[in-house]
Amino acid sequence: MDTVTFTILRYDPEKGSKPYYQDFEVKLNKPGMMILDGLNQIRWEQDGTLAFRRSCREGVCGSDGINVNGANMLTCVTHIEEVVKNGKLVIQPLPGMALVKDLVVDLSDFLQKYFLVKPYLISKTPAPARERLQSPEDRKKLDGLYECILCGCCSSSCPSYWADPEYLGPSALLNVWRFVEDSRDEGAEERLGLLDNRNGAWRCHTILNCIEACPKGLNPTQAIAGIKRALVERKF
Ligand code: FES
């Protein structure tokens, strides 16, 4: 295979036209090309107006979440050869989020929901002389939680998130659980209090899309199950 067809959703609100798909031929001119390499090739050699986000190119910043052949992923860490079907990639912006231009979506609502759940340590006891210590066993409980890079791939894959604009979504909920599970945090009550309603944890219907969509291999559904269990336990 010398070339791959990138079929990309284009949209420019300033031109006043409806979204449409445009084909680009991407040359596979180096081994192990990522989808981001293909998008860069298009922007640098074919159409400088193509809009997409990227920054670190290492799967760390979370800015390049995108939908390729129906699945959400990061363009910078996904090999073209991993996902290409019949020589073609259909590339669209993350679903369920407002479209800004081409492959760029508006993440404001997604990030507002993240900040709503207080994603920082809350302490009520006086600060110790040096630092708040944590045992290796308690630190281990945060594995699989702290690695979230806020790319939006999980929330944008969730039908409950699409259907209910008030639902916090799997990413925000995973981040709540990351702090509830932290032995140094003293804000579990106020965090859980935010979630015991139909737009909090109970809106999750265990559809499981979020697990497949997470490029870091995290399990938001399991985190939400932990929240649900804690919500039930605090009633008794
Ligand atoms: Fe930063 Fe892909 S460019 S995660």
Which residues have CB under 6 Å of ligand 1? 54-57, 59-64, 74, 76
Spacing, Cα 196 to ligand 1 middle (Å): 33
187-202 burial: b if 16+ Cβ within 10 Å, else e: bbeebbebbbeebbbe
pLDDT digits (tens, 9 = 90+) for 111-150: 999 999 999 999 999 999 999 999 999 999 999 999 999 9
Spacing, Cα 152 to ligand 1 middle (Å): 12
Span 48-73, mean pLDDT?
97
Give the H/E segment covering residue 4: strand 3-10
Please choose, from the candidates 122, 118, 123, the residue with its C-alpha nearest in 3D space to the C-alpha of residue 173: 118
- The pLDDT of residue 120: 95
What residues does 74 pair with on adjacent strands?
65
Index of the ligand 1 atom closest to the CA of residue 74: 2
Span 51-73, mean pLDDT?
97
Spacing, Cα 56 to ligand 1 middle (Å): 5
DSSP assignment of 18-82, as one string?
PPEEEEEEEE--STT-BHHHHHHHHHHHT-TT-----SSSSSSS-TTEEEETTEEEEGGG-BHHH
Ligand 1 binding pocket mutation candidate from 39, 53, 57, 150 (most atoms within 8 A of CB): 57
**CA–CA distance, 54 with 11 (Å, rounded to integer):** 18
Question: Which residue segments constitute the domains of the chain, with CATH numbers given?
Answer: 3-105 (3.10.20.30), 107-235 (1.10.1060.10)
Please choose, from the candidates 145, 147, 152, 184, the residue with its C-alpha nearest in 3D space to the C-alpha of residue 168: 152
Index of the ligand 1 atom closest to the CA of residue 215: 4
Span 1-8, mean pLDDT?
94
Is-contact 24 42, C-beta < 8 A? yes
Spacing, Cα 146 to ligand 1 middle (Å): 17
**Predicted confidence (pLDDT) at residue 1 exceeds the cutoff of 90:** no
- The pLDDT of residue 216: 97
Q: Tokens 């209910």: give the residue.
A: 164
pLDDT digits (tens, 9 = 90+) for 20-44: 999 999 999 999 999 999 999 999 9
Total-model pTM:
0.94
Q: Quote the mean pLDDT of the chain.
A: 96
Spacing, Cα 77 to ligand 1 middle (Å): 8
For Cα atoms 82, 60, 31, give the angle at the middle one, nearest 5 degrees: 35
Index of the ligand 1 atom closest to the CA of residue 55: 3
The residue whose CA has the least distance to atom 4 of ligand 1 is 59
Span 61-84, mean pLDDT?
97
Span 9-29, mean pLDDT?
95
Confidence of residue 17 (pLDDT cuts 50, 70, 90): confident
Q: For a pLDDT cut of 90, what percent of the chain falls above it?
A: 95
Spacing, Cα 76 to ligand 1 middle (Å): 6
Q: Lowest-confidence range among 112-116, 163-167, 190-194?
A: 190-194
pLDDT digits (tens, 9 = 90+) for 206-234: 999 999 999 999 999 999 999 999 999 98
Span 169-190, mean pLDDT?
96
Ligand 1 binding pocket mutation candidate from 34, 39, 58 (most atoms within 8 A of CB): 58
**Predicted confidence (pLDDT) at residue 5 exceeds the cutoff of 90:** yes
- The pLDDT of residue 234: 85
**Predicted confidence (pLDDT) at residue 16 exceeds the cutoff of 90:** no
Q: What is the DSSP letter of 130?
A: S
Under DSSP, is residue 195 helix (H, G, I), strand (E, B) or coil? coil
Is-contact 217 74, C-beta < 8 A? no
**Predicted confidence (pLDDT) at residue 199 exceeds the cutoff of 90:** no
pLDDT digits (tens, 9 = 90+) for 94-104: 999 999 999 99
